[in-house]
Amino acid sequence: MNIALLFEEDLTSPCSATLTDRRLRHLQEVLDIKLGDCISVGQVNGMLGEATVTQLTPLSAELEINWNRQPPAPLPVTLIIALPRPKMVKRIIQTIATMGVKELYFINSYKVEKSFWQSPWLTEGKLLENVVLGLEQAMDTQLPNIHLRKRFKPFVEDELPDIANNSLRLIAHPSGSQGCPTQVSQQTTLAIGPEGGFIPYEVDKLIASGFTPVSLGERILRTETAVPVLLSKLF
Ligand code: SAM
Residue 23 CA neighbour count, 13 Å, CB half: 24
Exposed/middle/buried for residue 129 (C-beta within 10 Å: 0-12, 13-18, 19+): middle
d(CA 113, CA 116) in angstroms, rounded, equals: 6
* SS3 (DSSP) at 5: strand
113 Cα–ligand 1 center, Å:
17
Cβ atoms of 63 and 39 within 8 Å: the answer is yes
d(CA 74, CA 134) in angstroms, rounded, equals: 13
Phi and psi angles of residue 141, each rounded to the nearest 5 degrees, phi first: -120, -15
121 Cα–ligand 1 center, Å:
22
21 Cα–ligand 1 center, Å:
39
d(CA 15, CA 67) in angstroms, rounded, equals: 8
Q: What is the pLDDT of residues 58-70, one digit of tens each?
A: 999 999 999 999 9
Domains of the chain and CATH, by start: 4-69 (2.40.240.20), 77-234 (3.40.1280.10)
- The residue contributing the CA closest to ligand 1 atom 2 is 197
Ligand 1 binding residues, C-beta < 6 A:
172-174, 192-193, 195-198, 215-217, 219-223, 226
- Enter the DSSP assignment of 166: T
Mutate to test the pocket of ligand 1, among 81, 173, 178 (most ligand atoms within 8 A of CB): 173
Share of the chain above pLDDT 70, in %: 100
pLDDT at residue 207 is higher than 90: yes
- Enter the DSSP assignment of 144: P
Q: Which of 57, 54, 71 is nearest to 15 (CA)?
A: 54
d(CA 172, CA 193) in angstroms, rounded, equals: 7
Q: What is the pLDDT of residues 121-169, one digit of tens each?
A: 999 999 999 999 999 999 999 999 999 999 999 999 999 999 999 999 9
> What per-residue confidence (pLDDT) applies to 177?
87
Nearest atom (ligand 1) to Cα of 84: 10
pLDDT at residue 45 is higher than 90: yes
Task: Name the average pLDDT for the chain.
Answer: 96
d(CA 10, CA 87) in angstroms, rounded, equals: 30
- The residue contributing the CA closest to ligand 1 atom 5 is 197
* SS3 (DSSP) at 151: coil
Nearest atom (ligand 1) to Cα of 216: 24
pLDDT at residue 1 is higher than 90: no
Cβ atoms of 71 and 139 within 8 Å: the answer is yes
73 Cα–ligand 1 center, Å:
28
> What per-residue confidence (pLDDT) applies to 205?
98
pLDDT at residue 12 is higher than 90: yes
Across residues 49-62, what is the average pLDDT?
96
From 19-23, 108-112, 146-150, the region with the lowest mean pLDDT: 19-23
Q: What is the pLDDT of residues 165-182, one digit of tens each?
A: 999 999 999 998 899 999
Please give the model's pTM, rounded to 2 decimal places. 0.95
Inter-CA distances, 174 with 157, 179, 211, 215, Å: 24, 10, 15, 5
Give me the DSSP letters along 73-126: PPPSEEEEEE---HHHHHHHHHHHHHHT--EEEEE--TTS-GGGGG-GGGSHHH
- Enter the DSSP assignment of 219: S
- The residue contributing the CA closest to ligand 1 atom 14 is 193
Q: What is the pLDDT of residues 68-98, one digit of tens each?
A: 999 999 999 999 999 999 999 999 999 999 9
